[in-house]
Amino acid sequence: MASDEFVTVKTFLPTLPLPANSERAEITTNRLLIRALQPGDLAAFRVLRTQQDVMKWTKAGCIDETIEITKSKLDPFLPPNDLITANCAICLKDTGEFIGIGGCHLYPASHGWPEVGYMLRKEQWGQGFGTEFLSAWLRFWSELPRSKREVQVQKEMVDREGSVDEHLIAITEVSNVPSQRVLLKSGFERFREFDEVDDGKTVNLVAFRYLPSKTEWRKGL
pTM: 0.93
Could you give the domains of the chain?
6-219 (3.40.630.30)
The predicted pLDDT at position 215 comes to: 73
User: Whole-number mean pLDDT of the chain?
Assistant: 94
CA 213 to chain centroid: 18
Q: pLDDT tens digits, residue range 69-116?
A: 999 999 999 999 999 999 999 999 999 999 999 999 999 999 999 999
Is the pLDDT confidence value at 2 over 70? no
**54-68, 98-112, 143-157, 186-200: least confident range:** 186-200
Query: Which pLDDT value is given to residue 78?
Result: 97
Dump pLDDT digits (tens) for 11-32.
999 999 999 999 999 999 999 9
The whole-number pLDDT of residue 3 equals: 55
| Among 212, 206, 211, CA closest to 191 | 206
Distance (Å, rounded) from C-alpha 182 to C-alpha 51? 20
Residue 167 CA, chain-centre distance (Å), reads 12
